[in-house]
Structure 1
């Protein structure tokens, strides 16, 4: 069996806010993934020029760069704020530029940040998109409620939610590239219940 290259875990931040709670949560997950020995990468859409798909002739250079980074990743973490019960338009537009060439057989994790006490359907909608892209989406997903109180500049104040977010990062590291390395699918599930926080 050939030696496995160091896996790459990429997070795609669907928030364009300067002080983004989604970005902070993604950083927590990526730090945990990095501690597991993978290479991490955060795609901040604020730094990319991505007009609405087909709004201009040709493909913007930043779209090609985005697709290259996603294609190189063994696992992708999609993070979004909850906008009107779904995920953000900026994340939708970024995903529109990508396709099955970039996402097929890629391990994907899902994270939602909500202002209210009850997160909406953003993760359900993203899971449908990932299924269409032929991605290998983790059963574990994390929704962060009351984010204005839970997420601070210093990180995630709620220990249980912080553990869930870190656990998601570790799972992305554990199962990065699982479709290309089938032996990973036989690994035991990481200890601890880090399911979503809808209950």
Structure 2
């Protein structure tokens, strides 16, 4: 683990006026305030063709570089808009380029931004993807329903939502590397016979 911990955020929206991007940045700002170094991966700036395992590195665009950035992170924040009740395809494609070796043991904060009601299925789908990659999703996540009212002038207009987003950023730092710490504790207990 890096000292201080390094946290990346991935915004799963390609919209120029994206509430998801605002929420991920707000989370990263809180993580930085908690002592982490941060990097915001804006998928608009990445060449990520649909994942095809038969194309090899030559046809993968920036996929290998994205996987490397994920692998180097101590923690991640994944943010997605809700499209048809599930994860937006840009974020799903980004995750398709990551293998278990890239995500294994990484602490992950999850947030979803919905134009309508509470995005429970989307949060569950994203959590399932993280678990399949052997990541450690935090028990808390952030749902932002009614996005049309939640954001204003590139900021979060709703104070309660802003507080939850800030808490997510601080918590992802507090638990960065938790899988490593858990493994060290187990190793120590085995060595001492406790």
**Distance apart, 1:46 and its partner CA:** 0.7
Deviations 1:30-63 (A, max 9, x none): 1000001100111111111111111872222411
SS at match of 1:140: coil
Instruction: Tell me if structure 2 keeps the 8 A contact 1:13–1:80.
Output: yes
SS at match of 2:140: strand
The residue number in structure 2 matching 1:23 is 21
CA distance in 1 between counterparts of 2:119 and 2:129 reads 18
CA distance in 1 between counterparts of 2:16 and 2:154 reads 15
The residue number in structure 1 matching 2:189 is none
The residue number in structure 2 matching 1:195 is none
Q: Would you tell me which structure has more helix in proportion to its own residues?
A: 2
Task: Decide which moves more: 120-129 or 56-65.
Answer: 56-65
**Distance apart, 1:154 and its partner CA:** 3.8
Instruction: Tell me if structure 2 keeps the 8 A contact 1:50–1:63.
Output: yes
Q: Any gaps of 5 or more consecutive residues in structure 2? A: 186-194
The residue number in structure 1 matching 2:192 is none
Instruction: Tell me if structure 2 keeps the 8 A contact 1:109–1:138.
Output: yes
Instruction: Tell me if structure 2 keeps the 8 A contact 1:21–1:152.
Output: no
The residue number in structure 2 matching 1:146 is 146
Label 1:55 to 1:4 Cα distance change in 2 as closer, same or farther (>3 A): closer
List, as ranges, runs of 4+ consecutive aligned residues in structure 1 with deviation greater than 4 Å: none
Structure index of larger Rg = 2
TM-score normalised by structure 1 residue count = 0.87
CA distance in 2 between counterparts of 1:123 and 1:160 reads 19
- Equivalent pairs counted in the alignment come to 183
Q: Any gaps of 5 or more consecutive residues in structure 1? A: 186-199
Instruction: Tell me if structure 2 keeps the 8 A contact 1:86–1:120.
Output: no
TM-score normalised by structure 2 residue count = 0.89
RMSD (Å), alpha carbons = 1.9
**Distance apart, 1:6 and its partner CA:** 1.3
CA distance in 1 between counterparts of 2:175 and 2:184 reads 6
